[in-house]
Amino acid sequence: MPRGFFTQSATVLFADAPSSEAVASALDALDVPVTRRSAEPSWLSGGTELLVPFGEPSGGHVHVDVVAHAWPDTMGDPEKEPALFAAWSMGAFGPLVFPRNLERAVGQAVAFRDAARAVSGHRAFVRMRTSYLVGAGPESRVMPEGWSAFEEIHAMLQVVRPLLSLEGAIAYFDPNAEVLLPAEGVERVLDSPEAEGATPLELFSHVRLFNIDPTWSMMDTVGLDRFFLPDVEVLITRDVDPNQVAGLLRNLSGYLLDGEVVEDGHTVEAPFGVLHVHARDESLTEPPRRVLRMVPDGAELPEGAL
């Protein structure tokens, strides 16, 4: 999908649309000068947009708007729903969103009991998107010099907490990484000792499990592409503990985010054996993205798995 003019995004799903005044009041807790601007309500803009500044001197803003519709999990028909299709095509929901991302997030929401029932009741969402183009000239870059995804993520996190405190908030949903968590799950991550001074990766990347056949499973990450990094896939036999693999995937994600290099032809020592790394331009699952596919030494893999 096109990245568009926004560099990061996240949302909070609501049972009913909160007023822009309620959102503005919640953002007062940030103690920063929030600017308000208005437009015709559409999929591109919920109407009233609140601009939360961050990142001096880069001039970034978190654009916060209320969309009084359920999350659009498909791109829409270009003839029957041209406005929705155009918004998707321009990256209006985030830089890396892909059709059916909420459906996949619900299916993989192992830390959100009864996620399907909870999310089925949402009728609106508050959208957060970062950009550097407010007041910028025609030659301005979408990503300025010194751009930092970490800075953007921390800026959005400052907004997420007050939004989740509003009446009717159901869940935090990052459509780029397909992360879905209830408010208490977000608080648990943010208040954990490991989160202090660090980027809480669990809120901006996801670890998933897929069963391929009676013998093989695959676990992967989603969300590292927001850092312009490949995601990671690990093929495992069904007797391997998924918790061990999840730990490995989180460690590898942190390793890549620290600037370390893992590339085609490398090997990785895992608790369950040696893994061989194969760089691939196409992932085994949606969303489509670059991956580092890791397979056990000497394994006879299912057809099409490599």
Q: What is the mean pLDDT of residues 158-181?
A: 97
Q: What is the mean pLDDT of residues 110-137?
A: 91
Confidence (pLDDT) at 134: 82
Amino acid found at 295 = V
pLDDT, tens digit, for every residue of 275-299?
999 999 999 999 999 999 999 998 8
Q: What is the Cα–Cα distance from 133 to 141, expressed in whole angstroms?
A: 8
Band of pLDDT at residue 195, cut at 50, 70 and 90? low
Confidence (pLDDT) at 1: 44
Band of pLDDT at residue 305, cut at 50, 70 and 90? confident
pLDDT exceeds 70 at position 245: yes
| CA atoms 238, 242, 244, 249: torsion sign | positive
Angle between helices 20-27 and 149-164 (to 10 degrees): 110
Confidence (pLDDT) at 115: 97
pLDDT, tens digit, for every residue of 31-70?
999 999 998 899 998 889 999 999 876 689 999 999 999 9
Amino acid found at 273 = G
Q: What is the mean pLDDT of residues 120-149?
A: 85
Percentage of the chain exceeding pLDDT 90:
81
Average pLDDT taken over every residue of the chain: 92
Instruction: Give the closest residue to 268 by CA, choosing from 230, 301, 242, 234.
Output: 234
Q: Report helix, strand or coil for 211.
A: strand
Confidence (pLDDT) at 138: 67
Residue carrying structure tokens 């040696």? 274
Band of pLDDT at residue 133, cut at 50, 70 and 90? confident
pLDDT exceeds 70 at position 247: yes
Residue 175 and residue 191 in contact, taking contact as beta carbons nearer than 8 Å: no
Instruction: Give the closest residue to 246 by CA, choosing from 264, 262, 234.
Output: 234
Instruction: Give the closest residue to 182 by CA, choosing from 31, 12, 22, 56.
Output: 12
Q: pTM for this one?
A: 0.94
* Strand order across the 273-280 sheet: 206-211, 216-222, 231-237, 291-296, 273-280, 267-270
